[in-house]
């Protein structure tokens, strides 16, 4: 199987679009469903809407983002307004 290095066309970094790419299936240049890595298939693409629908099905439509935020004297009031658990 060929190694594929993906860089998102949206952000230039590995992002959510890269993660869900291909979840809805892969197709050859004629639009026939194929498995990624099949021999004699030189062009692959996936349908972004099908990928998104499959991602939604697998996650139940819920996504959480976890981000560490350093709380300092300068931002503690703003952070406490946004996060009710911070006192």
pLDDT digits (tens, 9 = 90+) for 23-38: 888 888 888 888 877 8
Residue 26: strand, helix, or coil: strand
Per-residue confidence band for 7, with pLDDT thresholds at 50, 70 and 90: low
4-to-11, 44, 65, 70, 86 alpha-carbon distances in Å: 18, 11, 26, 36, 43
pLDDT of residue 57: 93
Q: What is the pLDDT of residues 22-78, one digit of tens each?
A: 888 888 888 888 887 788 888 888 888 999 999 999 999 888 777 788 889 999 899
Residue 60's pLDDT is what?
92
Query: Could you tell me the pLDDT band of residue 17, with boundaries at 50, 70 and 90?
Result: confident
Of 68, 67, 33, the residue nearest 50 (C-alpha): 33
């Amino acid at each position: 199987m060929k190694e594929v290095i993906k860089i998102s066309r949206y952000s230039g970094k590995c992002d959510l679009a890269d993660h869900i790419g291909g979840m809805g299936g892969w197709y050859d240049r004629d639009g026939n469903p194929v498995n990624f890595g099949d021999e004699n298939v030189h062009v692959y693409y996936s349908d972004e809407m099908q990928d998104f629908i499959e991602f939604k099905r697998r996650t139940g439509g819920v996504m959480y983002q976890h981000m560490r935020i350093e709380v300092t004297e300068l931002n503690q009031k703003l952070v406490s307004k946004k996060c009710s658990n911070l006192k």
